[in-house]
Chain A
Amino acid sequence: MKSSHLAISHLSAKTKEGKEILHDISLSFRSSKVYAIMGPNGSGKSTLAHVLMGNPEYKIQGDIMFNHKNIEKLLTEERARMGIFLSYQSPVAIPGVSVMQLLRTAYHFENCMKLTQLYAKKLHIDKTLLTRSIHDGFSGGEKKKIELLQALVLKPAFAIFDEIDTGLDVDALKVVAYGMNKLKKAGTGVIIITHYKRLLSYIPVDVVYVLSKGKLLKTGNRQLVTVIERKGYAGL
C-alpha cells in the first residue's frame, strides 16, 4: 500500500441546526500508524469521524486534505473509494442486504468471497452472519466484528473505529486488536476513538489526541493514555 497522509486543519463543524460541535481542530494521520482519539462524552469524537467520512449532516469550515488534495467537497462514496473507512459505533441494520453482498458490491474483485470467509474465521465470526441481513438482530459484539471484517477486506488507507471496544468482553477485545494490528501491518493508518485504555493495551499506539468540548485539548504519545486513566480528563 502506498504511503498516505490525512490531515485536517482549522476544522470546524456545525449541525444543520447551527450547533457548533467541532471548533478549529488540526490533526494529522499517516499510514501504518495507530492513533487514539480520546475525550469525555460530547467532546466531538464521533462527529469528527463522521465529518472525515463526509456525512452530509454537518456543515464544515477548514480543510480536510488527503495526500495533499482537498477532499472537503467529495461525496462519502468518493472518500470511501479513496481509502477512508468508518467503523460505526451503532451501525444501522439493512434488511435483506448481507455483509457478503455489500462487500461484493463495494469490492470489485473476484476473490472477495474467499477473503471475507477467511477473515470471518480469524475474527471468530459465525459464518451464518455473513449472509444474514447486516446488523439485523446482531449482538453488540457481532456488530463490531462485522465492521472490522469489512475494514480487513476493503484494506483502506485509513480506518476509523468509533468506540469499537464498548461492550466487548476480553476475548472479543483481543480479536479486535488482532484485526487492527493486521491492518496496521498492511499499511492502514488506524484511528481508534475510545474512552478506555483496555483496547489500547493490546495495540502499540503511536499518537494520542484528546478532544474536549469540540477542541483539541492535548496531543501526546501512549503514556498520555495512562495519565488519563489515572487522573481522568479533568486532570489534564
Chain B
Amino acid sequence: MEGFTYVDIFATKGIEYILVISALVLFYPLWRLVNTPGGAVYELARSAATTIGDWFHMPEEKIYYHLGHTWAMPEGGEVVKVGIDDFAQKLVGKIDAIKFPEVGSDMVQGERAWSLVIGDKVIDMLSPVDGKVVAVNREISTSPEKINIDPYGAAWLVKVQVPRLSANLRNLLSGKLVRKWMDGVRESLMARMNYNLGQVLQDGGVLVEGIAKNLDREKWDEIVREYFLIT
C-alpha cells in the first residue's frame, strides 16, 4: 500500500522501549547502591554488626536481670548478691566511686538503690529486688575498677536478704528472655552510633571511655540514665 507508513506513530517507539528497559535494569544497581553504605563505613558497620553480638557478656544461667541493667544472683536461702551487668559497665566506662546503701537499710525493687560516681556526675541505679541490705562489698569501694573486669563475680555490690524471693525473681529476666531483651538494647545502641562507630571500636577505647561518652560527649549521662531507666 503506497503512502501507508508506520513511521510517524512508531518513530520513537524503539528508543522508548530501550529507555524503559534500561530504566528498569538500572534501577537494580541503584537500589543496591542506595541501600548499602559505601566504602570504609560499610566495612566498619558490618564488622560492628557481627562483633556487637559478642560485645556484652550476659550469662543466661543463675543470674536474673532487671531492665535497669542490674542483676540478682540467689546465694541460697533468702540472700541474693546484687550488681551491675556487663552492658552497664561498658556503657559508663571507668567508675570512680560507688555510693553504697547502708547495711541494714531497705531496698525496693525498681527504686534507686546505689549510685555510680563518674567524673563529676552521679548516676543512680535501680534495685533488682526488695529486701534488707546485709552486706556491701567494701573491696569495690577501694578499687571500683574491678567492676570493669568481673561484673558478675568479684564485683558484686551488695548482698540483700529478700523475704519474697521467688516473687521478686519472677519480675526479672533470665534464660532466653535475656537474649531477646539485649537484642533490642543492642539495636537501639546501633541506631545511635552512626558516625561515632570508629571511636567506639578503637582498641580499649570502649572500656576506658565508656560507650556513652563516645555517643555524646556532652550529654552522655542522659543516655546512661535512659538505659538505666532513671528519669
Tell me whether A and B are bound partners.
no
Binding site for B on A (CB under 8 A): none
Binding site for A on B (CB under 8 A): none
